[in-house]
Amino acid sequence: MARHTVADMRTAHAAGSHFAVVTAWDRPTAEFAEAAGVQFILVGDSLAQVALGHESTVRVGMSEMVHHTAAVVRSTSEALVIGDMPFLSYVDAPTAAENAARFIRDAGAGAVKLEGGVSAAPIVAALVRSGVPVIGHIGFTPQSSLNESKPRAKGRLPEAAAALLEDAIALQEAGASAIVIELVPRELAAAITSRLRIPTIGIGAGGGCTGQVQVLPDLLGLLGATAPRHAGRVANLRDEAITALTSWRESVESGLFPTEAQGISADATLIAALNDLPR
């Protein structure tokens, strides 16, 4: 079966349907997502925090992002894999083109995502003219949050809401295939969605968007109590994993592991030969 493309997002939007997007960064997370029927996988720069232990998304560059994107592509067969353009990788059109090519040509991604609205529209347009499917990202943009103490909702005031709509329209006119809307009031996200011809993908932006994206560890509870409120955790695998590993450690320490089932047995010839080994 051919991989999904950004055209499938637009088809869902035109039909009034919803779709799911989840982040992944390696074989297990990619296989989990595809086996669950998720059609769109974002290799987000959030891997800086959830996979590599950094405090901010700005700590990863193209080398890490291409490495992990390639791993997700190799580990899937049907999902559209989207490479997240990292901090300072699209400061101008030539730089953006070079780095987008690494995602598409070298890693095998089917689209890229970048942050910014009106200011990013010329770069989006240049990439689209070159044949690169681009997904925009407005609202709270993590790569621009170094001056903020914590993630903050955007578009709460009328002027800010109007600016976000302007951002969305600019990205649409530049040729973006879809737009991520992060941490804005649900009514604003729905209003923006209703005024666009292209899909929106919400994260902490309510149910009025065409799609929803979440970070996989937040959904599955892999990192304890650090998940944001909007994640809507569906499992608590961290506690399950710790309980299972604790049980295994205790069985090792008590001599109960490994059992014969976890090993192989010597045949009679080898057993006889063992008796003749030097002591």
Q: Which sign does the torsion angle of CA 21, 24, 28, 30 carry?
A: positive
Please report, as a single letter, which amino acid is at residue 56.
S
| Cβ atoms 178, 159 nearer than 8 A | no
Q: Is 182 a catalytic residue?
A: yes
SS3 228: coil
| Cβ atoms 75, 30 nearer than 8 A | yes
Q: What angle do CA 156, 157, 159 make, to 5 degrees?
A: 130
Give Cα 155 distance to the centre of its chain: 24
H/E run at residue 94: helix 93-101
For the chain, count helices (H), then strands (E).
11, 8
Please report, as a single letter, which amino acid is at residue 116.
G
- Single out the catalytic residue among 34, 64, 115, 182: 182
Q: Please report where in the chains the tokens 């329209």 appear, as a residue.
A: 169
Question: How many whole angstroms separate alpha carbon 143 and alpha carbon 116?
Answer: 10
Query: Catalytic positions, please?
Result: 182
